[in-house]
Structure 1
Amino acid sequence: MLTFKNFNIADWFSFYRIAAAPFLLGLIWFDQQIIFASFLLISYSTDAIDGFLARKLKITSPRGSQLDSFGDQITLLVGLIGLFYFETDFIKTNHVVIIIAFSPYIIQMLIAYFKYSKATAFHTYLAKLSAIMQSVFILFALFFNPDYTLFYIMVVIGLLETFEEITLIFMYPKWASDVKGIYWAYRDKRRLKQGQS
């Protein structure tokens, strides 16, 4: 049975992102764009903080990785809802590119749930770079205006990251967390053991 004592400081930053989601949705509902963007910035910041603390304090765990991934997904979804609401014209103009960019991500999620019965938590370098670009683009669009250079960089990196995730899913017979990328996966003893079992 899990109690509050079972969670570490990095986990609580992930919990913050999850708990902040309804509040952020409320700010969208009341049309508070700048306040929404400001609190979204805080949520994005906690993502960087919890990962740093987990590595620095050596408190990483499969449960923490999964909790972090769930917090990331919730925050990304809320950020996208905000972008759709506050920048409707931009979304309408670029809906084809957005659909092309997000279709592989949906496929990746479906493959992961079919194979592992849960989302991936590889936390690759490319995934971290993609998350940074997503947050930079969304925040820049909300505080100022959508920037097409940032938009296309975000799309390209996001597609590369999604295809890497799909490749890693097929490389790991069983769920694994904290894989830096395809190169590191080839040398990962966990993957080799999974293949032998």
Structure 2
Amino acid sequence: MNSIPAALVVFRFLIGPFLLWDALDGQTSIWFIAGFVAAFLSDIFDGIIARRLKISTAGLRQADSWADLCLYACVFSSAWLVHKDLVIAFRIPLLSVVFAQLMWWIVNFLKYGKPASYHTYSAKIWGITLFIATIAWFGFDYAGITLWLAIIVGIIHSLEEIAMTLILPIWKHDVLSIHHAINLRHELNSPSPTTES
């Protein structure tokens, strides 16, 4: 049982290249949607199972974040291969969210030497909007409101986590929001009872 969360993370790492392979000929099959849905479900259940088993370690959470990055890098590459015209049409908003994420990476590496792994509420909302936008894009050739919503939520999420990194004095995983980060900073900066005595 304890190996299930790690297996789900590995599964998501493997699904990404499969999606890209399916898009190499400029179109996607039903297997693309099926694989993406399976990857999305694995992202939900790996965290739930890890918390239930009390094995939600920093290493596992970081691997989870890397798996998400791999998956959506492959999804974006697939979009370029299959829907290049839509990618070009949305190039400015798409580049905006990519720039926000790049700033997130830079800030975290400058402060901690590694990416953050907060798994915030905003990250979960962004994951849902990305899921809806991807299904709409590849399943129904639609990239309107759903894609805009994913882009806007992605920028807000990136800005929140950048602020959290600036707030937190040390690297922490599973910090749910900027409110939690502020409270955690106060706890870390508060003198211990032994210090006061």
**C-alpha distance in 2, partners of 1:19/1:116?**
28
C-alpha contact 1:172 1:194 (8 A) present in aligned 2? no
Give unmatched runs, 5+ long, in structure 2.
192-197
Query: Over residues 14-45 of structure 1, what are the superposed CA-to-partner deviations in whole Å (9 max), with x where a residue is unaligned?
Result: 01111223322222224450222321221111
Partner of 1:14: 9
Give unmatched runs, 5+ long, in structure 1.
none
C-alpha contact 1:125 1:180 (8 A) present in aligned 2? yes
Residue 20 (structure 2) aligned to one of 9, 25, 33: 25
Alignment partner of 1:51 is 2:47: yes
Partner of 1:151: 147
**C-alpha distance in 1, partners of 2:176/2:18?**
33
Identical-pair percentage: 22
Partner of 1:88: 84
* SS class of match (2:119): coil
Partner of 2:194: none
**C-alpha distance in 2, partners of 1:31/1:94?**
19
Aligned length: 191
* Structure 1 vs Structure 2 CA RMSD: 2.2
Partner of 2:171: 175
Change (3 A) 1:69 1:147: same
**C-alpha distance in 2, partners of 1:57/1:39?**
26
Partner of 1:71: 67
Partner of 1:125: 121
- The letter of the residue matching 1:145 is D
Residue 56 (structure 2) aligned to one of 38, 56, 60: 60
* SS class of match (1:187): helix
C-alpha contact 1:69 1:121 (8 A) present in aligned 2? yes
- The letter of the residue matching 2:130 is Q
- The letter of the residue matching 1:134 is L
* SS class of match (2:10): helix
Change (3 A) 1:175 1:105: same
**C-alpha distance in 2, partners of 1:194/1:19?**
41
- The letter of the residue matching 1:112 is N
- The letter of the residue matching 2:107 is I
C-alpha contact 1:37 1:139 (8 A) present in aligned 2? yes
- What's the CA shift for 1:194? 6.7
- The letter of the residue matching 2:148 is Y
Change (3 A) 1:12 1:194: farther
- The letter of the residue matching 2:97 is A
**C-alpha distance in 2, partners of 1:195/1:76?**
39
Change (3 A) 1:32 1:88: closer
